[in-house]
Amino acid sequence: MRAIAMVTAQDLAERMRLNAPQAAMYTKAWGASTSSAALNCASNACSRQNLAEWDMQAVQQNLQQQMPEVDFAVFPLLGVAQWWGILIAWHDGQETYRTDTQSGSPDCPADMSCWRLFFRPD
């Protein structure tokens, strides 16, 4: 599960780098669902805003297909200008892999393991 979380977080970070002017559109809190983009940006021209929505929907679908009871959050880091964090959590009653909170990143929920990635999209 950790390997899937690592690869997915890196994929989302790369998507955000490619669409850095819209970084704020990628913000997502625990439990929030991503909006369903009307366009398929893989086969149609999309605005940068549509691309951000489509990216988030694609990441959410990918995670849900590969991991049980998964959630993720995307957030700007507090006190570290232009840096962002991605936090992916999956069900794990043993809590075998938990990373520390830093720079205002959300806590890892109970009964879950988490992977955090910090990066600068620009």
Going by the DSSP 8-state scheme, the letter that residue 39 receives in this structure is S
Domain hosting 28: range is 2-119
Instruction: Give the position of tokens 């994929």.
Output: 11
Give me the percent of the chain exceeding a pLDDT of 70.
Answer: 90
pLDDT digits (tens, 9 = 90+) for 7-31: 999 999 999 999 999 999 999 998 8
Confidence at residue 102, expressed as pLDDT on a 0 to 100 scale: 62
User: How many domains are contained in the chain?
Assistant: 1
